[in-house]
Amino acid sequence: MTSQPTPPKAGSGHASPGGHGSGLQAGLKNRHLTMIAIGGVIGAGLFVGSAAGIATAGPGILLSYALVGTLVVLVMRMLGEMSAANPTSGSFSAHADRALGGWAGFSIGWLYWFFWVVVLAVEATAGAKILSGWVPAVPQWGWALIVMAVLTATNLASVGSYGEFEFWFAGIKVVAIGAFIVIGLLAVFGVLPGVHSDKAGLGNLTGHGGFLPHGPGAILTGVLLVVFSFMGSEIATLAAGESEDPQRAVTKSTNSIIWRIGVFYLGSVFVVVALLPWNDKSVTDKGSYVAALDSLGIAHAGQIMNFIVLTSVLSCLNSGLYTASRMAFSLGERGDAPRAFARTNRRGVPVTAITASVVFGFVAVFFNYKFPDSVFLFLVNSSGAVALFVWLVICFSQLRMRKIIQREAPEKLVVKMWLYPYLTWAAAGLIVFVLGYMLTDTEHDGRETVLLSLLVAAVVLVIALVRQRARGGRAAVAARSGSEAVENVPVG
Quote the pLDDT of residue 36: 81
Answer whether residue 15 shows pLDDT above 60. no
Model confidence over 88-131: pLDDT tens digits?
878 899 999 999 999 999 999 999 999 999 988 888 888 888 89
Answer whether residue 393 shows pLDDT above 60. yes
Q: Do 378 and 363 form a contact (C-beta atoms < 8 A)?
A: no
What are the Cα distances from residue 201, in Å, to 52, 68, 159, 180, 406? 21, 26, 46, 16, 52
- The packing angle between helices 301-333 and 44-57, to 10°, is 110
Q: CA 96 to CA 330: how far, in whole Å?
A: 12
Q: CA 341 to CA 1: how far, in whole Å?
A: 37
Model confidence over 54-88: pLDDT tens digits?
988 999 999 999 999 999 999 999 999 999 888 88
Residue 485 makes CB contacts below 8 A (sequence gap 6+) with none
Q: Do 348 and 159 form a contact (C-beta atoms < 8 A)?
A: yes
Quote the pLDDT of residue 119: 87
Answer whether residue 464 shows pLDDT above 90. yes
Q: CA 104 to CA 102: how far, in whole Å?
A: 5
Q: Do 382 and 428 form a contact (C-beta atoms < 8 A)?
A: no
Quote the pLDDT of residue 195: 66
Percent of the chain whose predicted confidence (pLDDT) is above 70: 90
What is the average pLDDT value for the chain, to the nearest integer?
Answer: 85
Quote the pLDDT of residue 490: 60
In this prediction, residue 135 has a pLDDT band, given cuts at 50, 70 and 90, of: very high
Quote the pLDDT of residue 485: 53
In this prediction, residue 169 has a pLDDT band, given cuts at 50, 70 and 90, of: confident
- Three-state secondary-structure class, residue 286: helix
Q: CA 345 to CA 23: how far, in whole Å?
A: 8
* 58-67 as b/e: b if 16+ CB within 10 A: bbbbbbbbbb
Q: CA 270 to CA 287: how far, in whole Å?
A: 15
In sequence order, the β-bridge partners of residue 28 are: 243
In this prediction, residue 350 has a pLDDT band, given cuts at 50, 70 and 90, of: very high
Model confidence over 408-435: pLDDT tens digits?
999 999 889 999 999 999 999 999 999 9
Quote the pLDDT of residue 436: 92
Q: CA 292 to CA 165: how far, in whole Å?
A: 29
Most confident segment among 218-232, 314-328, 462-476: 314-328
Q: CA 297 to CA 284: how far, in whole Å?
A: 18
CATH architecture group of domain 30-470: Up-down Bundle (1.20)
Quote the pLDDT of residue 199: 77
As a residue count, the chain comes to: 492
Quote the pLDDT of residue 8: 37
Answer whether residue 404 shows pLDDT above 90. yes
Quote the pLDDT of residue 19: 41
Answer whether residue 487 shows pLDDT above 60. no
Query: What's the rounded mean pLDDT across residues 200-225?
Result: 88
Q: Do 273 and 64 form a contact (C-beta atoms < 8 A)?
A: no
Domain locations along the chain: 30-470
Quote the pLDDT of residue 491: 54
- Three-state secondary-structure class, residue 334: coil
**pTM of the entire predicted model:** 0.87
* 186-206 as b/e: b if 16+ CB within 10 A: ebbeeebeeeebebbbeebbe
